[in-house]
Structure 1
Amino acid sequence: MDPLFLAYSYFRRKKYEQCTEICTQLLEKNPYDQAAWTLKTRALTGQVYVDEVDVDEEGIAEMVMDDNTIAQVSRPGTSLKQPGTGRGAPSQGVRPMSQSGRPLSGFVRPSTQGGRPGTMEKAIMTPRTAHTARPVTSASGRYVRLGTASMLSTPDGPFINLARLNFSKYASRPNLAKALFEYIFHHENDVRNALELAALATEACQFKDWWWKVQLAKCYYRLGMYRDAERQLKSSLKQQDHVDTYLYLCKVYCRLDQPLTAIEVYKQGLEKFQGETTLMTGIARIYEGMNDMDNAVKFYKDVLNYDSMYVEAIACIATNHFYTDQPEVALKFYRRLLQMGVYNAELFNNLGLCCFYAQQYDMTLTCFERALSLAEEVTLAEVWYNIGHVALGIGDMTLAYQAFRLTLANNNDHAEAYNNLGVLELRKGHVEMARAFFQAAVSLAPHMYEPHYNWAALADQLGDLQSSYNAAKRAVDAFPNHVDSKELLKQLKHHFSLL
């Protein structure tokens, strides 16, 4: 069999390492073999390729050192950084929230689980929730680590010495230039050289190739030049309508914190590509990020009209039904995921909770046992935490205490478990232990109102009125609609006024 044909076969089947080995052997025999050179370039790119259309998670650097902020205080319903209380917005007393104020999504994806601290101190000191279990570094750091890892595939040095390349020569040859650009951008992560090649290639084709404009926008986006990226993407759309271009333009607007503009662009894309599920999912994600759950569920249901196997839409609709006191309906959606072949600890955990709240107790423990058998380290803590909640529901305080202890054994930063252990210790009369647990919960999750209120109530019982007042005030700040916190704060204000 012809070696080059075999290499192409490996490439089509995504067996990039075998493809690279054959191309290397061909290039050793003939270093000027352009077909083997191009194929090896594409194979090396395929090994480290990451689809950048999806929205990146903002790390500490992007959160704090943001040069694109226009207004410090945005209007309600116009910002993803400060989500308001939109229509159908869940209450924090019902649905858990992230540190930034967004409801936790039913489907883990970039930018849904990490918080958004307002200052560098909060970004460094505040640990992440149990869903991430690691600090979220900046996107640029991730690209550097990817580039370092990609060098392991070439122990004898880089395949292409970029410092010796004549980009003007390659820019005039489109077939070689496109493969070379993707290699530089994805494999080497050298944005400066990639930008130079894209600029020369765009000029060589007389600014008529929409693909090169999109690549220029990617380079500008990676460098933080979002307005330049926006101009290139808009110019590309004038020449060629493409779904990825719309998605990338919306990604730029989301990074600029202009969700309403992003929704308009998504809808313009739907006019060109009717029924495109990725565009509708993008709209639903933005509405969900702005706490407008009614519109989010509406677009998720539209997605299911075109693609009934879309896992993200099914999971998010199920989560919304669960937190709106419809566990039976949520159970149907989760069972649908199970029938589709989704088989993981998270799904069985959700099935167990739905069965418990739908009063199908015979299936509850079975689902949690299956979740425990499939769970990994971080997920295991969440499963034990939910088992503790089920134990509280049936009145088995011993099992609940053991489950919350096992939660902390698997994740020592689980603020909710600390809070619940404090409540159980307080019921046993262990005041000092309860105070320690509440303080740990407050330090780990200052955005939660429950540990603040519990600490305030405990301090009030002990006669430490100043600490009680401060804790009650923090509870009201975290959740303004909590009646007990407002009532306790009102009583303490009245007491201080009498003094």
Structure 2
Amino acid sequence: MDKMEPLYVALSLFRRRHYEKCIEVCTSILEKQPLDQTAWCLKMRAMTQRVYVDDLESEEAPTEDNFLDSNVVATAPRPGTSLKVRTSVVPVTSLGARPRTSTGRPISGVIRPGTQSSGSGSAIERLRMSRGATGQSARAVRLGTAAMLSQKDGPFIEISRLNLSKYSKHKGLSKPLFEYLFYHEGDIRNAMELTVLATQACEFKDWWWKIQLSKCYTALNLIRDAEQQIKSAIKQHPHVESYIRLIRIYLRLDQPLTATEVSKRALEVFPNDVSLMTEQARISEALNESQTSVKLYRSIVIEDAMNTEAIACIGMYHFYNNQPELALRYYRRVLAMGAHSPELYNNLGLCCLYSQQLDLTLACFQRALDLATDPLIKADIWYNLSHVAIAAGDIALAIQCLSVCLSANSMHAEAFNNLAVLQHKTGNIHLARAYLTSAERVHQPMALPETIANINMLMNI
């Protein structure tokens, strides 16, 4: 029986997402035929897909000083027009008591782009910090073929030998090569150079290259240049991804109202698109427009009944509107969909507590503690367990839960505040003052309003 063609085997492995085996087969083909462009391109795509991360769902805005940012329009924007305004007074709405993070963002329990601290592990920082070839080889050889010749112990592609001008004119190789440079190597400089050459080669008629150029500009924090490229791409070919990237650009520029207008225009072109409605709902939620946000989330659930984020946010809305029974239904729906996380069981425990289903409350919190590995998440769970103890009337147990919370997270301002209140109830005035002072110190520059009120009360005692 004859053996199957190796290239066909590699293609089959690539379609089934067995990228490691596909790379091995392509490597064996290239050892026999080093200039086989088909195997070279397939290996390049397999290596890219192996490390590919959807930058739309993992994009993190870098934290930079405003005086170095040339995109800052106003240092004191009007209320309701900025996502970066930090105020200690929350507008009086139905969600007025909703907790917020240390950055001022309402807690939703759903990880979204831009909600995590952008450190060295974020996608943009990874692209910035990754090694990239900055020098060009001076050897007078055939650059187009020398780049394809890879050594066994060396890199797959000698980036310094790449003739980008030649590859930019090859429609079958230019796009996979860009993705390899951008995602696998993290070489923004050469990726952007290839993008510019390919855009010129296609006479500025290919919208895909303009989107890739905007990604390079965004990675280099050239936000205005990226905005122009995306607008030009949308004029040539309206696409959902293009609109989402334009919305993210305006959010990076701290222009949520403009981002909302872009999302409305996009929904006119793509009616009832889930991803566009999700972006608009997130913006409304960040602007404290809870009614508009939950309306959009309900529309999302109608279009996609398995959308975890929309279901969780609707449940959160009902919980903070004193409807824990309805919130419990939504969180149980998320649990039935197969999601198992400490945050979900924590929310289920709180819903059971406030809906008087006390037999399930401790079981949910026990499950949340078993699944929690992050100390910050464990601290929040112990903080919520203190409310269970307070509801049962056990002040000593509540103090112990808050102490365990502080042992896991020594910067938990709410735990300090509640410990001060409990110590005041037990008659320890001096200890209560110390805890309130600690709460005010760790929650700067946006101190808790209730903490300030409690300090003023104790100072008068």
CA distance in 1, matches of 2:130, 2:419: 41
Structure-2 residue corresponding to 1:47 = 50
Contact 1:77 1:83 in 2 (8 A): no
Structure-2 residue corresponding to 1:90 = 95
Contact 1:60 1:138 in 2 (8 A): no
Structure-2 residue corresponding to 1:142 = 126
Within-5 A mapping of 1:368-383: 368-378=365-375, 379-383=377-381
Structure 1 residue 204, shift from structure 2 partner: 0.6
Q: Which amino acid aligns with 2:95?
A: P
Q: Deviations over 1:209-257 (max 9, x none)?
A: 1111111111111112222111111111122121111111111111111
Structure-2 residue corresponding to 1:412 = 410
Structure 1 residue 460, shift from structure 2 partner: 2.7
Contact 1:349 1:367 in 2 (8 A): yes
In the superposition, relative to structure 1, how do residues 79 and 243 fare at CA in structure 2: closer, same or farther (>3 Å)? same
The answer to whether structure 1 residue 458 and structure 2 residue 458 are counterparts is yes
Contact 2:413 2:438 in 1 (8 A): yes
In the superposition, relative to structure 1, how do residues 95 and 39 fare at CA in structure 2: closer, same or farther (>3 Å)? same
Structure-1 residue corresponding to 2:449 = 449
Moved more, 374-383 or 218-227: 374-383
Structure-1 residue corresponding to 2:108 = 105
SS in 2 for 1:413: coil
Name which of 76, 81, 87 aligns with 1:78: 81
Contact 2:119 2:125 in 1 (8 A): no
Structure 1 residue 135, shift from structure 2 partner: 6.5
Query: What's the RMSD between the two structures over aligned residues?
Result: 2.4
Name which of 33, 38, 42 aligns with 1:35: 38
Name which of 254, 279, 282 aligns with 2:279: 282
Structure 1 residue 55, shift from structure 2 partner: 7.0
Aligned residues: 435
The answer to whether structure 1 residue 201 and structure 2 residue 198 are counterparts is yes
Moved more, 441-450 or 423-432: 423-432
Structure-1 residue corresponding to 2:256 = 259
Name which of 406, 413, 420 aligns with 1:422: 420
Structure 1 residue 424, shift from structure 2 partner: 2.4
Structure 1 residue 403, shift from structure 2 partner: 1.2
Contact 1:106 1:318 in 2 (8 A): no
Contact 2:417 2:439 in 1 (8 A): yes
Moved more, 329-338 or 358-367: 358-367
Structure 1 residue 174, shift from structure 2 partner: 1.2
Contact 1:377 1:410 in 2 (8 A): no
Q: Which amino acid aligns with 1:141?
A: E
CA distance in 2, matches of 1:64, 1:402: 45
In the superposition, relative to structure 1, how do residues 257 and 34 fare at CA in structure 2: closer, same or farther (>3 Å)? same
Contact 2:56 2:113 in 1 (8 A): no
Moved more, 423-432 or 393-402: 423-432
TM-score under structure 2 normalisation? 0.88
SS in 2 for 1:421: helix
Structure-1 residue corresponding to 2:384 = 386
Contact 2:30 2:39 in 1 (8 A): yes
Structure 1 residue 113, shift from structure 2 partner: 5.7
The answer to whether structure 1 residue 244 and structure 2 residue 212 are counterparts is no
In the superposition, relative to structure 1, how do residues 59 and 445 fare at CA in structure 2: closer, same or farther (>3 Å)? farther
Contact 1:62 1:138 in 2 (8 A): no
Structure-2 residue corresponding to 1:268 = 265
Structure-2 residue corresponding to 1:395 = 393
In the superposition, relative to structure 1, how do residues 358 and 203 fare at CA in structure 2: closer, same or farther (>3 Å)? same
Name which of 172, 182, 186 aligns with 1:185: 182
Structure 1 residue 324, shift from structure 2 partner: 1.2
Q: Which amino acid aligns with 1:16?
A: Y
CA distance in 2, matches of 1:155, 1:351: 54
Structure 1 residue 440, shift from structure 2 partner: 2.5
Structure 1 residue 432, shift from structure 2 partner: 4.0
Structure-2 residue corresponding to 1:60 = 63
Structure 1 residue 64, shift from structure 2 partner: 6.6
Structure-2 residue corresponding to 1:294 = 291
Structure-2 residue corresponding to 1:436 = 434
Q: Deviations over 1:3-24 (max 9, x none)?
A: 2222222222323222222222
In the superposition, relative to structure 1, how do residues 55 and 257 fare at CA in structure 2: closer, same or farther (>3 Å)? farther
Moved more, 326-335 or 60-69: 60-69
CA distance in 2, matches of 1:27, 1:165: 18
Structure-2 residue corresponding to 1:175 = 172
Moved more, 358-367 or 411-420: 411-420
Contact 2:58 2:122 in 1 (8 A): no
CA distance in 2, matches of 1:264, 1:410: 43
Contact 2:94 2:320 in 1 (8 A): no
Structure 1 residue 145, shift from structure 2 partner: 5.1
SS in 1 for 2:69: coil
Structure-2 residue corresponding to 1:228 = 225
In the superposition, relative to structure 1, how do residues 425 and 87 fare at CA in structure 2: closer, same or farther (>3 Å)? closer
Question: Identity across aligned pairs (percent)?
Answer: 49
Structure 1 residue 136, shift from structure 2 partner: 8.0
In the superposition, relative to structure 1, how do residues 136 and 73 fare at CA in structure 2: closer, same or farther (>3 Å)? farther
Gapped regions of structure 2 (runs ≥ 5):
133-150
Contact 1:59 1:136 in 2 (8 A): no
TM-score under structure 1 normalisation? 0.81
SS in 2 for 1:111: coil
Contact 1:352 1:367 in 2 (8 A): yes
SS in 1 for 2:414: helix
Structure 1 residue 111, shift from structure 2 partner: 2.6
SS in 2 for 1:314: helix
Contact 2:10 2:25 in 1 (8 A): yes
Structure 1 residue 83, shift from structure 2 partner: 7.1
Contact 2:60 2:113 in 1 (8 A): yes
Contact 1:98 1:113 in 2 (8 A): no
Moved more, 404-413 or 159-168: 404-413
